[in-house]
């Protein structure tokens, strides 16, 4: 039900959808030119062990995943906390976190149809990106789910900051930049200088973009390595879940709603 509502909301305006699709297609074409120029400048077929096809697939997927996981849930929370409407959820027999997750999932479904799928079609059909081995495609699904959970938990934490500060815009924008850069969402982690890359691979950010994307873009093929990356994802999801739950409970205690 809640998922369906979120989905319907993202379909309300057709012009909105057309421009969103157009925007992501132009974005991907620009990425193609940019990385073509980078590979032309490098003068070799592979840079840091990645072919142009792999890199382009990587950055294209990163953009597609980024827009898919961007569900603006922190803004919904901000509005509910600001107006006090959030209390309605306290009287209902479900957890607010679960409710937020469900409505964010609805948005993910909408994004998937309007943004992610057209992007993927553009990448694979028009630009002939190489297809990964099937085992990677299968394992991509749990990796994507865990990446999304992590992204949701971080967004939820940003939403909770609305209990403490007026500036959710600043917190949200900072989060976006830090996550995109450190997760290899802007430039594949393979391009980073060595000591930096080793550190970034262990940090939670890599679990959000680099892990699922590397599965499809062929960065990792060894099964043991894949299992390790998936386990690391699970570890970070659990850590963030515990941290966010604690943060949320501590913050709710501060809440006083006018006229309550």
Partner 1 sequence: MKSLFFYTRLYLLLVGKYLQARMQYRADFLISTAGMILGNVAAIGAVWVVFRTIPNLAGYTYPQVIFLYAFALLALTPMQLFFDNLWSLRMATNQGTFIKYYFKPLPTLFYFVSETLDLKGFGLLAFGLGAFVWASGQLGIQWTPVRIVLLPLLLGGGSLIFISLMTIAASATFWVKDSFAILAFVSGFRDHARYPMGIYNSFFQFLFTWVVPVGYVAYYPAQFYLTDTVPDWTAWVSPLFAAALFALAVWIWNRGTRRWGGTGS
Q: Which of 90, 99, 169, 246 binds partner 1 (CB under 8 A)?
A: 169
Residue 28: how many CB atoms within 10 A of its CB?
21
∠ CA 149-155-160, rounded to 5°: 125
How far apart CA 155 and CA 147 sit, in angstroms, is 12
Binds partner 1 by CB under 8 A, chosen from 8, 9, 29, 243: 29
Contact pick of 83, 167, 221, 225 for partner 1 (by CB under 8 A): 167
13 in contact with partner 1 (CB under 8 A): yes
The helix or strand, by DSSP H or E, that contains position 50, with its residue range, turns out to be: strand 50-51
Q: Confirm or reject binding of residue 42 to partner 1 (CB under 8 A).
A: yes
- Counting residues that bind partner 1 (by CB under 8 A) gives 42
- In the complex, the smallest distance separating the C-beta of residue 112 from partner 1, rounded to whole angstroms, is 17
Q: How many CA atoms lie within 13 A of 233 on its CB side?
A: 27
Report if residue 8 touches partner 1, rule: CB under 8 A.
Answer: no
Token pair for 140: 């991509």
Q: Which is nearer to partner 1, 174 or 221 (CB)?
A: 174
70 binding partner 1? (CB under 8 A): no
Binding-site member from 92, 93, 165, 222 for partner 1 (CB under 8 A) = 165
Instruction: For residue 11, state whether it binds partner 1 (rule: CB under 8 A).
Output: no
Torsion of CA 187, 220, 128, 34, to 10 degrees: 10
Q: What is the DSSP string of 58-78?
A: HHHHHHHHHHHH---HHHHHH
Distances (CA, A) of 214 to 114, 143, 189, 195, 218: 23, 10, 10, 19, 6
Q: Which residue of 11, 131, 166, 221 would you call a contact of partner 1, by CB under 8 A?
A: 166
Residues 118-157 vs partner 1: string with x where CB under 8 A?
Answer: ----------------------------------------
Residue 122 CB, shortest distance to partner 1, in Å, is: 15
Residues 6+ apart with CB under 8 A from 203: 182
Selected from 15, 195, 253, 259, the binder of partner 1 by CB under 8 A is: 15
Q: Which residue has the tokens 């980024």?
A: 66
Residue at token pair 């600043």: 170
Cβ count within 10 A of residue 57: 25
Q: How far is the CB of 224 from partner 1 (least distance, A)?
A: 28
Contact residues toward partner 1 (CB under 8 A) are 13, 15-20, 22-23, 26-27, 29-30, 33-34, 36-38, 40-42, 47-48, 165-167, 169-174, 176-178, 180-181, 186-187, 191-193
């Amino acid at each position: 039900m809640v998922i369906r509502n979120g989905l319907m909301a993202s379909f309300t305006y057709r012009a909105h959808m057309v421009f969103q699709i157009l925007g992501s297609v132009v974005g991907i074409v620009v990425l193609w030119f940019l990385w073509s120029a980078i590979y032309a400048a490098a003068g070799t077929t592979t840079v840091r062990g990645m072919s142009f096809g792999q890199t382009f697939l990587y950055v294209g997927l990163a953009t597609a995943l980024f827009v898919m996981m961007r569900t603006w849930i922190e803004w919904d929370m901000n509005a509910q906390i600001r107006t006090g409407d959030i209390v309605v959820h306290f009287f209902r027999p479900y957890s607010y976190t679960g409710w937020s997750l469900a409505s964010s999932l609805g948005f993910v479904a909408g994004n998937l149809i309007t943004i992610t799928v057209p992007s993927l079609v553009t990448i694979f059909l028009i630009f002939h990106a190489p297809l990964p081995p099937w085992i990677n495609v299968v394992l991509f699904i749990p990796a994507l789910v865990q990446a999304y959970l992590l992204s949701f938990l971080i967004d939820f934490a940003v939403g909770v900051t609305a209990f403490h500060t007026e500036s959710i815009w600043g917190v949200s924008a900072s989060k976006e930049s830090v996550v995109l850069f450190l997760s290899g969402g802007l430039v594949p982690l393979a391009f980073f200088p060595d000591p930096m890359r080793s550190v970034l691979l262990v940090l939670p950010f890599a679990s959000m973009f680099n892990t699922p994307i590397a599965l499809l873009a062929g960065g990792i093929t060894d099964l043991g390595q894949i299992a390790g990356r998936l386990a690391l994802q699970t570890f970070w999801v659990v850590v963030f879940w515990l941290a966010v739950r604690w943060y949320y409970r501590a913050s709710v205690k501060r809440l006083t709603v006018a006229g309550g």
